[in-house]
Chain A
Amino acid sequence: QQQVKQSPQSLIVQKGGISIINCAYENTAFDYFPWYQQFPGKGPALLIAIRPDVSEKKEGRFTISFNKSAKQFSLHIMDSQPGDSATYFCAASGTSTGNQFYFGTGTSLTVIP
């Protein structure tokens, strides 16, 4: 079954707007939650990551919000730019879950100028 559920599947945002992508997980043994950004024809690149001991992490325009009790985490892209148009994947992994990374199904983000 899908270990990490991601929504929405696609997202269209106006330039300057806020893009929000949500993920949910079930396995409480996960202890690392990265987000990856993938452009067409390229491999996924790490964007930002969080561990469950903090509720928020911010790097520039990108913020992860983490809700441990709800087992949910989300990516917020502030002041979205056309260059942010890409597919975003959330992921989860845990030292006690076999070191495997489990990915969401991806969100295709389009930022309209």
Chain B
Amino acid sequence: GEEVAQTPKHLVRGEGQKAKLYCAPIKGHSYVFWYQQVLKNEFKFLISFQNENVFDETGMPKERFSAKCLPNSPCSLEIQATKLEDSAVYFCASSHRGGGSGNTIYFGEGSWLTVV
């Protein structure tokens, strides 16, 4: 597609429940990025993929967060045993060739996760 498609737009989970978010990158883009935006401000980098391979996972809280990008499937971000602090907007972005040297990333509209 011509845009990054994220689902669901809104998700409400009770503390301790699992949350799973999906992202379909722009067709032809090799890189996928996940960011967490809290309080409408800072973008916290979580993880990036080059095709189905993890490229950079330095931002992932590994004990509860996991992500995958499998061939011919939307990418996913899963949070096990959600906590109140996980309430945020999760943005997926994709890029043709990754960051740097004019390679822009394009964002989806985000998935709003509310943990109650």
* A interface, CB within 8 angstroms of B: 30-32, 34, 36, 40-46, 49, 51, 87, 89, 93-103, 105-106
Number of chain B residues close to chain A: CB under 8 A: 28
Residue in A36, A42, A46, A99 whose beta carbon sits within 8 Å of that of B98 in the complex: A99
Q: A42-B109, A100-B48 are in contact. Are A49 and B100 (CB under 8 A)?
A: no
Cβ-defined contact, B100 with A31, below 8 A: yes
Count A-B contacts at CB 8 Å. Answer: 76
Find out whether the CB atom of A32 lies under 8 angstroms from the CB atom of B91: no
Q: Which one of B33, B41, B101 lies within 8 Å of A95 (CB-CB)?
A: B101
Which A residues touch B4, using CB under 8 A? Answer: 43
Task: Check if B100 sits within 8 Å of A97, measured CB to CB.
Answer: yes
Contact of B100 among A42, A46, A93, A105 (CB under 8 A): A93
Say if the beta carbon of B65 comes within 8 Å of chain A. no
The reply to whether A94 and B99 contact each other, CB–CB distance below 8 Å, is yes
- Which residue of B40, B41, B99, B108 is within 8 Å of A101 (Cβ)? B99
Q: How far is A96 from B31 in the complex, measured between Cα atoms in Å?
A: 16
Asked if A103 and B42 sit within 8 Å, CB to CB, the answer is yes
